Amino acid sequence: MHRLLTLRADEPAAKRRKTATNSTKGKQAPATAKGKGKGRGGGILKRMLEMPMDVIYEIFSQSTPGKLVLLARVSKRFRAVLLAHHSSSVWIAARQNVSAPDPPSDMCEPAWANLLYTPKDACFECDKKTDYIDFALRRRLYLPCRKKHLLRIKPHKSTSGHGFDPKVFDLVPYTRTGGYFGGWSDGHTAKSYWRPDLEAMQTKVAQFQENIKMGRLNAREEYDEFVQTQSLEVETILSTVAALESWVNGNEQEQYTLTIAKKEERYNQIVDRLVAAGYSRDEVTKHHFLRDQKGVKDVRPLTDAAYQKIEPQLKELLDTARTQRVKASRRADIKIAYKAFLQSLVPIQKFFVPRDPFPSQQFMSRTPSTPKLPCIQQLLDVDPNITVSQEQFDALTSTSFFVDTSGWALERMKAIAEAASLSIALPPSVAWVTRNTPSAENDRRLDELGKIFDLATVVFVVDTWKSGSSIWHNWDHNWTDPWPSAAQCPDSKVLFIGRDAMNIDLGYGEKLVFSARGAEAVRAVLNLEHLDARSATASGLDARNSLFKCNHCYTPEKDVVYTWRGCAAHFINEPQHTQPSWSLVPAPEAASYISNGDPFPSRLVHRWMCNHCPDSDRTNSYSTVLEHLVQVHVIESSKDDKDLFYLPAFEECAPRILFMSRAA
């Protein structure tokens, strides 16, 4: 049993072992004073017992059971006073102060107080904190102690075979534990006995049986009376369990409700003080983390000293939250305005401008060559306490988007040109083509932008990407014979040529690498096409739909021809070819390779966009966009990269056919 349950007021003081300074004299070693130490029962309580007993009892009667249990452990003098028989009224008054139930008939007031309110909710076996009270066993028990000392008897199983006389199981109380205890599936139907109780009862029963065996007078009658009394006590104990557990549950709910009310009262007082300090009630109450601060969720009443201690921290949190909230609101407004800006442009220019005005920090770290948008950042950095009017916002965004995106594109192209060792003269700024530009002027200005940002000799690869990778393979799952799939040429690089290299978001650790061999292969193609390498664009070459043979490896048996992009990929992946050498496939012969219709798998992928609509985020299949052009824009003969285009998704470039075999 727990130590307080065995205490008696008349217990003698424990004797101390004497020590000697040496083995010859046997004198007790003098104590060495260290500071102003206090013995048991010293300090502020030392003189309390010198008061009249009626005063002491009156003081104790105003206390709580938990505090009386603590006092009983202060010293032997306090224990003697509190455990005296005439002190029961003190315990009763203390119990009534907290509205606790009357103790069961088998427990005295101090033991009952100890069970319900033992200091630190200590387990009666190991002193570890636990909220679990087993009223059947009259113990507060930590889970490992229950697992260690409980003997579980399954339903409808015999009590024999456990090392105890089956008779003793009827003479001690049992408890029922839930299925969580020890992984038992039968839960509350099994009976669990406290092993020390069984052992003590077995010893007592054995003594009765020994008396009967020795033929002592009235031994049988005494045993029968003991069994009857003990069985009745067990029945009484078990009959109280349900009511006591119900009281505990109700008391816990009541305490929880009271705690919440006290916390809410303190929180409201803090809110009132912050509002008085200049914060709006709305911004204070919307800060959800405010309730979780250590000084806010306390249950104690708020004092001036307590508030002064936590005030700086709370104001810092609110100021930070205000800054973040204002910035988030401005970011949302900027995103809406930026989307409207993109919708004002001819959509194909999305290759040349950021798709989002706020590239994430992770994106910036992955692609250091991508600059920030300084004018937009300047708007974000305006003091949160300064209100930016709608007129100021519109005036700033109407110009900053053009300036920032122009600078972004030129900085990006400058980095690409440096990586490709190109000597190109970039203009100080570029003027984007808006949707209200006349058609003829529109085409001319887009061609000028292409000569800046869509050069065919700008050939990049991502070393970690292959055409057989999952990223590339999802483009060619609809390929059919005679067009070979990427899985048949897993060593082909994924190429980013011209505008494809302008606006790509790569994964962590991946980067674009300029391919000198790829650029050399493209220059050889341009010579065959009689095009200037300094101004030829990738989209212009795509529009020619020319096919080429490799003079190093073409044979009638290996009847494979390449698009101009395929020429770059082939030369990159064939290091034994020291110089690129191509032959232009004549148009009639090229038709035999493309006789089965459109060979380009990219037209089967749902990433195509209309180049005439403001809703530049809308994508669809190639055939759907063609139908849209006919029905909405009355364009019967549409052209790729003029009337519609393919905008790559994250970690993607526009899927292109690289090579093909002659049709069967």
| Tens of pLDDT, residues 51-70 | 888 898 999 999 999 999 99
Determine if the pTM surpasses 0.85: no
Alpha-helical (H) ranges within 99-183 are 109-117, 143-149
Nearest to 518 by CA among 504, 497, 533, 534: 497
Full residue range of the structural domain in which residue 75 is found? 1-11+45-121
- Has residue 182 been placed in a domain? no
- Has residue 129 been placed in a domain? no
Give the pLDDT confidence score for residue 475 in this predicted structure: 38
Residue 342: partners with Cβ closer than 8 Å, 6 or more residues away: 350, 353, 616
Query: DSSP 3-state assignment of 194?
Result: strand
Give the pLDDT confidence score for residue 394 in this predicted structure: 85
- Has residue 331 been placed in a domain? no
pLDDT < 70 stretches in the chain: 1-44, 156, 178-188, 359-372, 464-493, 505-509, 594-605, 616-617, 650-651, 662-664
Q: 164 and 200 in contact (C-beta within 8 Å)?
A: no
Residue 244: partners with Cβ closer than 8 Å, 6 or more residues away: 101, 104, 135
Give the pLDDT confidence score for residue 477 in this predicted structure: 35
Tell me, what amino acid is at 246? S
CA 48 to chain centre: 55
Give the pLDDT confidence score for residue 357 in this predicted structure: 82
Choose the final residue of a domain: 121, 144, 179.
Answer: 121
Q: Sort strands 493-497 and 459-466 into parallel, antiparallel or unpaired.
A: antiparallel
- Has residue 245 been placed in a domain? no
Choose the final residue of a domain: 121, 138, 168.
Answer: 121
- Has residue 155 been placed in a domain? no
Residue 353: Cβ-neighbour burial (10 angstroms; 0-12, 13-18, 19+): buried
- Has residue 440 been placed in a domain? no
Choose the final residue of a domain: 121, 136, 170.
Answer: 121
Number of domains into which the chain is organized: 2
DSSP secondary structure, 380-397, as one string: HTS-TTSPPPHHHHHHHH
- Has residue 578 been placed in a domain? yes
- Has residue 395 been placed in a domain? no
